């Protein structure tokens, strides 16, 4: 019998907190491009007898992220040892949080391509330290402990996601939120954010959760989506063959083959023999501490989206582009602060600038057109000093290539519209004197003749007269 299935997905995100030092020692937390095993000490190498000390900045940034994800922060939390053996874990245990985590019960809203929104519940955000990094080379394995002890936030979602599109939208939104609140750079190319996706299927209409496969260590949005699609299809085939999963599995993702592969039966929390970390005191946060941190949480993407719609009347598609990352939102807001019409900023950023940058595959951050320059350019248009066409055309093109200030480009190209009424009046009068025929025609009701006169003045001015002023002056002079 043909059966329809629903996919049920929950995601665990590990994100490195961007602190100066590691979670429990004073080693430098930035090991990008550093020689292996340079940023290490007795604590993060797990030497016997060393005592960890909690990094206050990590707790603060973790708490801010938890608040930004809508989580509740209990007054009390503690650290626990999660015991397992692996060569990248020299202590023999990870310091994590088990039954009393830093935060619980959050929720965020995601927006899908169709414009539909959905609320995804977050089970918890807790703190832990990262393991080292293994690289497998011919003849053996190498281990780099630079990453060992890096502060991590583990963010666990409820199984509220139903397909890969929702999963990727959720992961992107979390990345955005962590960046907006400044707690993590969440750069996946540098391994700062990684996903584990738990996937199960069930016949449509059922509420029951069936056995799941947890796909470990996905390190891009693309592989997150592809792995979920593959695994869901695999489970449906198994089910249809009468071989549905009869236990929870831990699986890996082979990016080259675009396939999941079974690694082992999934370990449960009992397997880790969690117990309270005896070397660390529990953390207490007072209401006052939390209120202070709450005030430090800046405007989040969802709030920005709502404000751009309400305050500036922008369209959903434009809003989505402008809030796609923190830098773009900041860029937009800086331009808006310099000009009168926010919609002008949208059209210059989304249509003109982004179009060129996309063609040239340059990220906005590296654009020579800084928000200050773009704001200046639009301000010139708003003041009527150059025309919209000049601004969008030759001035923008030159600014895009060279990063020169609009004032300079306008001067160099001799583009500035003449708004000097004395000068304009002189030219208008001479045109009227030279063309008595059309002046007569206009006085006799031939409106076309007026257009001819404006055109003649513009020609004299080489296209640089302020058109509104020319109109007004001609009217006035003929009227007399």
- 25 vs 410 by CB, closer to Zn ion: 25
* Nearer CB in complex with Zn ion: 130/376: 130
Q: CA 277, CA 285: separation in Å to the nearest integer?
A: 19
CB of 12 to Mn ion, least distance (A): 7
Closest CA to 12 of 183, 167, 189: 167
221: three-class secondary structure by DSSP: helix
**Residue whose CB is less far from Zn ion, 25 or 427:** 25
Nearer to Mn ion, 104 or 154 (CB): 154
Burial of 457 (0-12, 13-18, 19+ CB in 10 A): buried
Residue span binding Zn ion (CB under 5 A) among the ranges 25-33, 246-254, 426-434, 460-468: 25-33
Query: Is 44 an interacting residue with respect to Zn ion (CB under 5 A)?
Result: yes
Partner touching 154 among Mn ion, Zn ion, none, CB below 5 to 8 Å by kind: Mn ion
By CB under 5 A, residue 41 contacts Zn ion: yes
Instruction: Say how far apart CA 211 and CA 202 lie, in whole Å.
Output: 9
Please name the residues in contact with 412: beta carbons below 8 A apart, sequence gap of 6 or more. none
d(CA 88, CA 170): 29
Residue 122 interacts with which of Zn ion, Mn ion, none, CB < 5 to 8 Å by class: none
- In sequence order, what E strands does 387-446 have? none
CB of 16 to Mn ion, least distance (A): 12
Which of the choices Zn ion, Mn ion, none does residue 41 contact, using the CB cut-off of 5 to 8 A by kind? Zn ion
Smallest gap from residue 128 Cβ to Mn ion (A): 5
What x/- string results for residues 202 through 231 when contact with Zn ion is judged by CB under 5 A?
------------------------------
Nearest distance in Å: CB 39, Zn ion: 7
Q: Is 154 in the site for Mn ion (CB under 5 A)?
A: yes
Give the 3-state secondary structure of residue 160: coil
Return the residue of 23, 27, 227, 381 that touches Zn ion, per CB under 5 A. 27
Which single residue brings its beta carbon nearest to Mn ion?
154
Measure Cα distances from 24 to 74, 97, 211 in Å: 22, 14, 36
- Rounded to a whole number of angstroms, the minimum distance from the CB of residue 95 to Mn ion is 11
31-59 CB burial, b ≥16 within 10 A, e <16: beeeebeebbeebbbbeeeeebebbebbb
The binding site for Zn ion (CB under 5 A) comprises: 25, 27, 41, 43-44
The binding site for Mn ion (CB under 5 A) comprises: 154
């Amino acid at each position: 019998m043909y059966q329809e299935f629903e996919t049920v997905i929950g995601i665990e995100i590990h994100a490195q907190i961007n602190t100066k030092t590691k979670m429990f020692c004073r080693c430098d937390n930035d090991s990008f491009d550093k020689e292996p095993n340079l940023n290490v000490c007795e604590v993060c190498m797990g030497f016997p007898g060393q005592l960890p000390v909690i990094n206050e900045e990590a707790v603060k940034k973790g708490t801010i992220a938890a608040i930004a994800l809508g989580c509740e922060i209990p007054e009390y939390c503690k650290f626990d040892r999660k015991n397992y053996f692996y060569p990248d874990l020299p202590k023999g245990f990870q310091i994590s949080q088990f039954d009393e985590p830093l935060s619980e019960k959050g929720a965020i809203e995601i927006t899908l391509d169709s414009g539909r929104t959905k609320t995804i519940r977050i089970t918890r955000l807790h703190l832990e330290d990262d393991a080292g990094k293994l690289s497998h080379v011919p003849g053996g394995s190498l281990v780099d402990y630079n990453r060992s002890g890096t502060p991590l936030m583990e963010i666990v979602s409820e199984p509220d996601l139903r397909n890969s599109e929702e999963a990727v939208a959720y992961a992107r939104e979390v990345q955005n939120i962590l960046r907006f609140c400044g707690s993590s750079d969440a750069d996946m190319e540098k391994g700062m954010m990684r996903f584990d996706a738990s996937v199960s299927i069930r016949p449509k209409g059922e509420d029951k959760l069936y056995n799941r496969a947890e796909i470990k260590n996905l390190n891009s949005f693309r592989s997150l989506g592809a792995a979920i699609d593959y695994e869901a299809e695999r489970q449906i085939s198994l089910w249809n063959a009468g071989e549905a999963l009869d236990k929870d599995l831990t699986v890996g993702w082979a990016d080259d083959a675009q396939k999941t592969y079974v690694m082992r039966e999934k370990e449960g929390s009992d397997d880790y023999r969690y117990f309270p970390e005896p070397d660390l005191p529990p953390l207490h946060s007072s209401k006052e501490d939390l209120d202070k941190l709450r005030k430090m949480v800046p405007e989040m993407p969802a709030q920005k989206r709502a404000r751009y719609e309400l305050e500036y009347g922008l369209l959903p598609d434009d809003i989505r582009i402008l809030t796609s990352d923190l830098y773009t939102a900041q860029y937009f807001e800086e331009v808006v602060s310099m000009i009168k019409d926010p919609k002008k900023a949208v059209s210059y950023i989304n249509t003109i600038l982004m179009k060129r940058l996309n063609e040239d595959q340059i990220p906005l951050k590296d654009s020579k057109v800084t928000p200050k320059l773009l704001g200046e350019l639009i301000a010139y248009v708003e003041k009527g000093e150059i025309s919209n066409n000049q601004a969008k055309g030759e001035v923008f093109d030159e600014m895009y290539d060279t990063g020169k200030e609009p004032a300079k480009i306008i001067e160099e190209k001799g583009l500035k519209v003449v708004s000097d009424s004395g000068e304009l009046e002189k030219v208008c009068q001479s045109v009227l004197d030279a063309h008595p025929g059309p002046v007569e025609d206009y006085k006799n009701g031939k409106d076309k003749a007026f257009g001819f006169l404006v055109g003649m003045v513009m020609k004299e001015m080489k296209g640089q007269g302020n058109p509104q002023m020319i109109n007004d002056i001609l009217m006035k002079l003929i009227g007399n």
